[in-house]
Structure 1
Amino acid sequence: MQLKHYFWIAVLPITVLSVVLPGKTQQNKPANILFQTSTISALAAGVYDGKITFKELKKRGDFGIGTVNTLDGEMIGLNGTFYQIKSNGVASVIPDSMTSPFATVTFFKPEKLINIQEKINYQQFQQSLDKGFPTKNYIYAIRIQGNFPYLKVRSVPKQTPPYRPLVEAVKAQSVFELRNINGTIIGFRTPSYMQGVNVNGYHLHFITTDRKTGGHILDGELQNAKVEVSAISNIEINLPKTAEFGQADLGDGRAAEVDRIER
């Protein structure tokens, strides 16, 4: 039985508008199922060679985030189209034949629509959602559309073997500051007990309305934005059957590294 979740947000600038009934997407695809390839700890350990193609990922979801083969930038999927945002900040459509070493996708079916009117910063936004969740024990898929007075985003450069751990690779990241920009932020909030499997807490990516640029969210401000949220209770994780994954050090230290570099 699928669970419905109702979110009552404590901060005044955020107002609940309506509920969308759960079920299946308009494309008749199953909602409330999260598919993930590999783990964030494996990515932190430098497992950057992907085996699953984006053609296969599209069968598992039309909405998601992650990266592409060799850690070549940030990935964001919207309405069935997946985009790669390279370290130069340029976004382009990912071909079906390209592979991903780490991705989290779902067929997004919003259960709650929230309107943000007044300006709030990224930290206030996270705190507000956290207060409104009836439980923090589920993964939540999040989509935010509207105008963003300020966003700080990043992308990482393509890596070459022998691969360095993620904490070293991101030292060469490109950081972009975008102002008064329209677009979409999507991603997930993952419970702390899944640390090491996925990013602990909020992991969000952005792409502009014209699909020309974006990146991994580091900081920002929201105003006049529409927020849609859905709880996910079904998870499938596909672990790569490779020597690199099998030999990787995926201990607790990797999860701590991710917490430092993803924010």
Structure 2
Amino acid sequence: MKRTRLLLKIILGVVLYALAVLTTAAAVKAEQGTDTLFQVSTIDALLDGVYDGAMPVTQLTAKGNAGLGTFHALDGEMAVIDGIVYQVRADGSVRVAQPEASTPFAAVTPFEADFELTLGNVASMRELTSALESLLPNPNIFYAIRATGRFSKVKTRSVPRQEKPYPPLKVVAANQPVFHFADVPGDIVGFWSPAFVKGVGVPGFHLHFLNAERTGGGHMLDCSFENLTLTLDATPAFTVVLPQSEDFATTDLARDRAEDLHKVEK
């Protein structure tokens, strides 16, 4: 019994030491500007229909090489992988974003993996996010997430380009095109955001997917796989740049849109 208690104390000590080292290293990188989540606008503004581009994608990628978002007029889903901005359009096609493209909402970071998590059989998106959340060293900071592997199935969606006057995002999402992939290699990119970002960011996991051929993908709704290694970048710093448009200035950001976000994300 004493040996068991001693062993548990040693294991706990090692875990706490590793967490302290990881947190300290991440804080140092944050001070150097390399561990910062950079975000354009707020999720509540996007939910309310603020879809005009607020930043060129060329400027966005100067802030990070991994991330996600959407495009001017809500013209599809964005996945930023290795510094390349991909646009998954409502017809399911994928293209590298045009140099003149802009975004009303996006988040990126200079991805530098801090640690890896290997997951075995995962049958659903819920299982994936539940397993990941239970393994996060510190759920009160941001994490950038990358993974490359083969998936048994993936379910994604995109959003169609809108015309003014822009409808709220929940109205658009009610008729969003959905795509299904089976036995496909591909990439996950996204973020874990802590609960306190409610209204500004997406609390919890926000993940996008691209197949390896870069011919399909979108916002991840469901997935399954037998074995996958995910790399995570602990990101303790957070920068938000707000739009200077009249639409943003006049939108009501005092209203609680948590229910709208749940409908849109799920």
- Alignment TM class, shorter chain as reference: 0.7 to 0.9
- Rounded Cα–Cα distance in structure 2 between residues aligned with 1:146 and 1:255: 32
Question: Is the counterpart of residue 124 in structure 1 residue 127 in structure 2?
Answer: yes
Deviation, 1:118, is 2.9
2:5 is matched with none
- Rounded Cα–Cα distance in structure 2 between residues aligned with 1:164 and 1:208: 30
SS in 2 for 1:60: coil
2:246 is matched with 243
- Aligned residue among 139, 144, 162 for 2:142: 139
On the 8 A contact 1:199/1:259 being kept in 2, the answer is no
2:45 is matched with 42
Q: Which moved more, 1:217-226 or 1:67-76?
A: 217-226
SS in 2 for 1:183: strand
Question: Is the counterpart of residue 224 in structure 1 residue 227 in structure 2?
Answer: yes
2:210 is matched with 207
2:84 is matched with 81
- Rounded Cα–Cα distance in structure 2 between residues aligned with 1:126 and 1:5: 23
Please, which runs of 5 or more residues in structure 2 have no aligned partner? 1-16
- Rounded Cα–Cα distance in structure 1 between residues aligned with 2:83 and 2:40: 17
Question: Is the counterpart of residue 254 in structure 1 residue 254 in structure 2?
Answer: no
Please, which runs of 5 or more residues in structure 1 have no aligned partner? 8-20
Higher strand share: 1
**Paired AA for residue 247 in structure 1:** T
1:47-89 CA distance string (max 9 Å, x none): 0001210110011011110000000110000001000000111
Q: Which moved more, 1:120-129 or 1:179-188?
A: 120-129
2:192 is matched with 189
What root-mean-square deviation, in Å, do the aligned CA atoms of Structure 1 and Structure 2 show?
1.9
For the structure 1 residues 236 and 210, does the alpha-carbon distance in structure 2 shift closer, same or farther, using more than 3 Å as the test?
A: same
1:11 is matched with none
Matched residues, number? 243
On the 8 A contact 2:199/2:256 being kept in 1, the answer is no
> Structure 1 vs Structure 2: percent identity of aligned residues?
35
TM-score, with structure 2 as normaliser: 0.86
Higher helix share: 2
TM-score, with structure 1 as normaliser: 0.87
Question: Is the counterpart of residue 102 in structure 1 residue 95 in structure 2?
Answer: no
Max Rg structure: 2
For the structure 1 residues 65 and 255, does the alpha-carbon distance in structure 2 shift closer, same or farther, using more than 3 Å as the test?
A: same
